[in-house]
Amino acid sequence: MRKLLFEIAYKGTNYHGYQVQENAITVAETLQNAIELVFKKREDITGCSRTDTGVHANQYFFHMVTDNNIPTQAAVKALNNTLPGDIAVLSCREVPMDFHARYSVTAKEYLYKIWDNPLPNPFLDGLVLHARQTVDAEQMHCCAQEFLGEHDFIGFCSSGGKTHDTIRQIYRISAERKGDLVEFRVLGNGFLYNMVRIMVGTLLPCGAKVPQIGDIAKILASKDRKMAGITASPAGLYLNRVIYDAAFLTGGSCEIKKES
């Protein structure tokens, strides 16, 4: 037996999230269908994170235990020949049996893309949030710095989340304008249900209300979801980077570093 770690990327527009669901097409089910064809067995797979309907991933990992001896690079090629074009396998490597795609994660980075132009862009439909008002990226960046550090993020969590521990630590956060796109990035040790989408929804202008310095700190202190903003559209959200302790991993086609 051996444990394989796969790195993938996917566009989530056509999927009801990552996790297998009844009567809905998901990323995990689509992967398992391809794995069954290539490995001649429907293997169980364990993902590094849950992503919701319409959310994308620039980098995602899942592990699988198998007795199939197919070479790792051959598995990458065969799966890519089988999968639809909106899911790509980027690499595959053998990892120690005590490695876990989810529990061995040390940090994750999310990216949220906002199209800041009065006119829609049909080529970005489903891939960005089309802002209703002009976004002040500099103000957004300054306000977002109040998320840094360790906080109770229960006020930035949607109902339906299954975790009882709502303490999370944010290592780095930014908002940057790139032409008509505003890119919001946040790196942390973990995230609650819809946490990033609520962070974005709180930082965006809403009518005459524009976020001010001090607002985020007040919401965090209140622990009240009603004080935070809307849950922004899933279309602009990407799981951008997944970080593991490099001691777990050797070889492979992509480098995974421990975040300093």
In a domain, 247, yes or no: no
- Which residues are within 8 A (CB) of 64 and not within 5 positions of it... i.e. 6 or more apart? 3, 4, 6, 35, 43, 44, 45, 46
Residue 52 appears among annotated catalytic residues: yes
Q: Which domain holds residue 94?
A: 2-102
> Would you state the pLDDT for residue 257?
43
Tokens read off for 185: 């990035």
Q: How confident is the model at residue 248 (pLDDT cuts 50, 70, 90)?
A: low
Q: What is the pLDDT of residues 104-121, one digit of tens each?
A: 999 999 999 999 999 999
* 208 and 147 co-located in one domain: yes
**Whole-structure pTM over 0.85, yes or no?**
yes
CB atoms inside a 10 Å sphere around CB 241:
17
Residue whose tokens read 């598995």: 75
* 115 and 195 co-located in one domain: yes
Q: What is the pLDDT of residues 178-203, one digit of tens each?
A: 999 999 999 999 999 999 999 999 99
Q: 208 pLDDT exceeds 70?
A: no
Cα separations in angstroms, 157 against 40, 65, 93 = 41, 33, 34
Over range 13-30, report the average pLDDT: 93
> Would you state the pLDDT for residue 258?
40
In a domain, 260, yes or no: no
Helix axes 72-82, 27-39, angle to 10 degrees: 120
Choosing from 52, 86, 152, 180, which is the catalytic residue? 52
Q: What is the pLDDT of residues 236-247, one digit of tens each?
A: 999 999 999 865
Over range 117-127, report the average pLDDT: 95
* 3 and 55 Cβ atoms separated by less than 8 Å: no
Beta strands 87-95 and 2-10 are antiparallel
* β-bridge partners, 182: 114, 177
Over range 197-218, report the average pLDDT: 89
Tokens read off for 85: 């074009």
* 76 and 121 co-located in one domain: no
Q: 17 pLDDT exceeds 60?
A: yes
* 186 and 216 Cβ atoms separated by less than 8 Å: no
* Domain CATH number, residue 10: 3.30.70.580
